[in-house]
Amino acid sequence: MTAELAEPASKIELPAHIGGGGDIPSFDVHLRVRRYNPEVSDESTWDDFHVTMYGTDRVLDALHKVKWEIDGSVSFRRSCAHGVCGSDAMRINGRNRLACKTLLKDLDTSKPITVEPIKGLPVEKDLIVDMEPFFQSFREVMPFLINRGHEPTKERLQSAEDRERFDDTTKCILCAACTSSCPVFWTDGQYFGPAAIVNAHRFIFDSRDDAGDMRLEILNDKEGVWRCRTTFNCTEACPRGIQVTQAIAEVKQAILSRKI
Amino acid sequence: MSATEIQSPRSAAKVGSDRIAPQYRRNGASKGNFEMIAWLFMRLSGVVLVVLIFGHLTVNLLVGEGIHAIDFGFVAGKWADPFWQVWDLAMLWLAMLHGTNGVRTIINDYAEKDATRLWLKIVLYAATTVIIVLGTMVIFTFDPCPMVNGVPLPGGFCPAP
């Protein structure tokens, strides 16, 4: 029985009479989904769905169940369904999260769970938004290595310390949860947004990259880092736990120390 | 860098009233460091203002007889001293510019139409200019002994004849 003890403790409260992996506690979930179909109406509405889900299920599983068994017209994006591709960022109970990383049992299932598209980007249908303005800002900070030196014969070496400097910002999966949680971005959508700054940060502080100055100049724009109001919405929204607001502050300091 | 305008499908033009549908309108980089200087000014002026305002409050309200000593004569006595003239001038300018910049930021963040933004800023800058000019004038042209037709007004702080 020692092998069983070595297993990590389950976070799900299993009743004593259930053993093994067969039975998982189930509960009823009231899902309230924001619907929008431009071919039918210009107004969006709420649709309510009641489904029976299990303790191991995520919001994405509930959406799947709705789409596969109740209403096939419910539209949302998802690809890997395991928190890596960043396709299914949505506003769940008023907070930006990945549907595939949000367990239903962690939410308050006694109330309806609201699911809306992320804010600040044009909605295409139901939970699907047009990500193009988001990616336009991302492209503008040149999120790729620019190196003016000679091409090395093997690889570009870097010390562990230099790699550590920007480690946090390499984790971004471009799900747009941060940018679409930013109140400044909601206003007119012209602000570069946290995601673009995070991805600029990833190269600005990379010792192998030579275009840091160019990126700092781009982010010194009137829609750049200075529009950040440090509300920390982005840090709270990031499903990867990136310290987004801190990264933005570091870019601000880099611009200041370069100019003064 | 050429103008970048993204034609996104089904966006902006035909969206409903409660829907935010930004179009990508940024074109080219804005020149200059104005936003950076404004950001830096907010931090520096904030620190200086903490010192100035708490100094002001201490001297006016706590030292000596405190709040009971404040009258026309008290203000006249303070502004007879160039030190307090400079202190109050610095406080006036920094507080006004700090506040104006803060409101400017709020207008930029919350105004949705360019016309609204423009008009709110015109009102803001006009009010700021009036208050700064008026305040500066008062500090430097303050007369402790106002005379009307050769007779000092009551409450004045006139030198003994």
pLDDT tens digits along B127-140 = 999 999 999 999 98
Q: Do A124 and B10 touch (CB under 8 A)?
A: yes
Instruction: Establish if B30 touches chain A: CB-CB under 8 angstroms.
Output: yes
Question: Which has the higher per-residue pLDDT, B114 or A236?
Answer: A236
CA pseudo-torsion sign A244, A78, A95, B104: positive
Question: Which has the higher per-residue pLDDT, B24 or A204?
Answer: A204
Instruction: Establish if A123 touches chain B: CB-CB under 8 angstroms.
Output: yes
Assess contact for A92 and A114: CB atoms under 8 A. yes
Please tell me the distance in Å from A240's CA to the nearest CA on chain B: 26
> Which chain B positions have a beta carbon within 8 Å of A129's beta carbon?
none
Instruction: Establish if A106 touches chain B: CB-CB under 8 angstroms.
Output: no
Instruction: Establish if B110 touches chain A: CB-CB under 8 angstroms.
Output: yes
Q: Tell whether the model's pLDDT for residue B53 goes beyond 90.
A: yes
Please tell me the distance in Å from B104's CA to the nearest CA on chain A: 12
Mean pLDDT of A166-179: 96
Q: Do A223 and B21 touch (CB under 8 A)?
A: no
Cα-based torsion angle of the residue sequence B64, B67, B72, B77 in order, rounded to the nearest 10 degrees: 30
Q: Which of A133, A183, A256 sits opposite B40 (nearest CB)?
A: A256
> Which chain A positions have a beta carbon within 8 Å of B120's beta carbon?
none
Q: pLDDT above 70 covers what percent of chain B?
A: 78
Q: Tell whether the model's pLDDT for residue A221 goes beyond 80.
A: yes
Inter-helix orientation angle A194-204/A132-140, to 10°: 30
Amino acid code (one letter) for B151: V
Kindly state the tokens that stand for B10: 């089904």
pLDDT class of A63 with cuts at 50, 70, 90: very high
Cα–Cα distance measured from residue B121 to residue B127, given in angstroms and rounded to the nearest whole number = 10
Instruction: Establish if B28 touches chain A: CB-CB under 8 angstroms.
Output: no
Q: Do A189 and B19 touch (CB under 8 A)?
A: no
Q: Tell whether the model's pLDDT for residue B143 goes beyond 90.
A: no
Q: Where are the domains of chain B?
A: 33-143
What ipTM was predicted for this assembly? 0.79
pLDDT class of A18 with cuts at 50, 70, 90: low
Instruction: Establish if A86 touches chain B: CB-CB under 8 angstroms.
Output: no
Q: pLDDT above 90 covers what percent of chain A?
A: 81
> Which chain A positions have a beta carbon within 8 Å of B12's beta carbon?
122
Q: Tell whether the model's pLDDT for residue A6 goes beyond 70.
A: no
Instruction: Establish if B120 touches chain A: CB-CB under 8 angstroms.
Output: no
Architecture of domain B33-143: Up-down Bundle (1.20)
Q: Tell whether the model's pLDDT for residue A49 goes beyond 80.
A: yes
* DSSP collapsed to 3 states, A178-225: CHHHCHHHHHHCCCCCHHHHHHHHHHHCCCCCCCHHHHHHHHCCCCCH
Q: Tell whether the model's pLDDT for residue A181 goes beyond 50.
A: yes
Enumerate residues 6+ apart whose C-beta is below 8 A from A180. Answer: A89, A91, A96, A118, A119, A120, A121, A129, A134, A237
Q: Tell whether the model's pLDDT for residue B124 goes beyond 50.
A: yes
Beta bridge partners of A97: A90
DSSP per-residue codes, A73-133: T-----SSSSSSS---EEEETTEEEEGGG-BGGGS-TTSPEEEEPPTTS-EEETTEE--HH
Q: Do B21 and A123 touch (CB under 8 A)?
A: yes
Please tell me the distance in Å from A42's CA to the nearest CA on chain B: 5
Please tell me the distance in Å from A187's CA to the nearest CA on chain B: 6
Please tell me the distance in Å from A82's CA to the nearest CA on chain B: 28
Instruction: Establish if A34 touches chain B: CB-CB under 8 angstroms.
Output: no
pLDDT at residue B67 in the model: 83
Q: pLDDT above 70 covers what percent of chain A?
A: 91
Kindly state the tokens that stand for B100: 């104006």
Q: Do B19 and A183 touch (CB under 8 A)?
A: no
Q: How far is CA A106 from CA A57, A110, B94, in A?
A: 10, 12, 49
Kindly state the tokens that stand for A127: 């939970």
Q: Do A222 and B35 touch (CB under 8 A)?
A: yes
Beta bridge partners of A48: A32
Q: Tell whether the model's pLDDT for residue A113 goes beyond 90.
A: yes
Amino acid code (one letter) for A44: S
Q: Tell whether the model's pLDDT for residue B1 goes beyond 60.
A: no
pLDDT at residue A24 in the model: 75
pLDDT at residue B112 in the model: 80
CB atoms within 10 A of CB B103: 17
Q: Tell whether the model's pLDDT for residue A2 goes beyond 70.
A: no
Cα–Cα distance measured from residue B107 to residue B117, given in angstroms and rounded to the nearest whole number = 6
Q: How far is CA A49 from CA A33, A196, B119, in A?
A: 8, 36, 47
Q: How many CB pairs under 8 A join A and B?
A: 91
pLDDT at residue A88 in the model: 95
pLDDT at residue B17 in the model: 37
pLDDT at residue B16 in the model: 40
Q: Which of B14, B24, B40 sits opposite A133 (nearest CB)?
A: B24
User: Would you call A54 helix, strand, or coil by DSSP?
Assistant: strand
Torsion angles phi and psi, residue A123, rounded to 5: -80, 135
For the segment A128-159, what is each residue's pLDDT rounded down to a tens digit? Answer: 999 999 999 999 999 999 998 888 898 899 99
Kindly state the tokens that stand for B121: 């800023």
Please tell me the distance in Å from A60's CA to the nearest CA on chain B: 24
Q: Do B29 and A218 touch (CB under 8 A)?
A: yes
Instruction: Establish if A223 touches chain B: CB-CB under 8 angstroms.
Output: yes
Whole-number mean pLDDT of chain A? 91
Q: Tokens 């506040």 belong to which residue? A: B99
Instruction: Establish if B15 touches chain A: CB-CB under 8 angstroms.
Output: yes
Q: Tell whether the model's pLDDT for residue B7 goes beyond 50.
A: no
Please tell me the distance in Å from A246's CA to the nearest CA on chain B: 16
Find, in chain B, the residue whose alpha carbon is nearest to that of A139.
B4
Q: Do A226 and B9 touch (CB under 8 A)?
A: no
Cα–Cα distance measured from residue A127 to residue A118, given in angstroms and rounded to the nearest whole number = 8
pLDDT at residue B10 in the model: 40
pLDDT class of B150 with cuts at 50, 70, 90: confident
DSSP per-residue codes, A5-22: HTSPPPSS---TT--TTT
Kindly state the tokens that stand for A109: 């299932």
For the segment B15-46, what is each residue's pLDDT rounded down to a tens digit? Answer: 443 444 556 666 655 667 899 999 999 999 99
Cα–Cα distance measured from residue B67 to residue B58, given in angstroms and rounded to the nearest whole number = 10
Rg (CA), chain B: 24
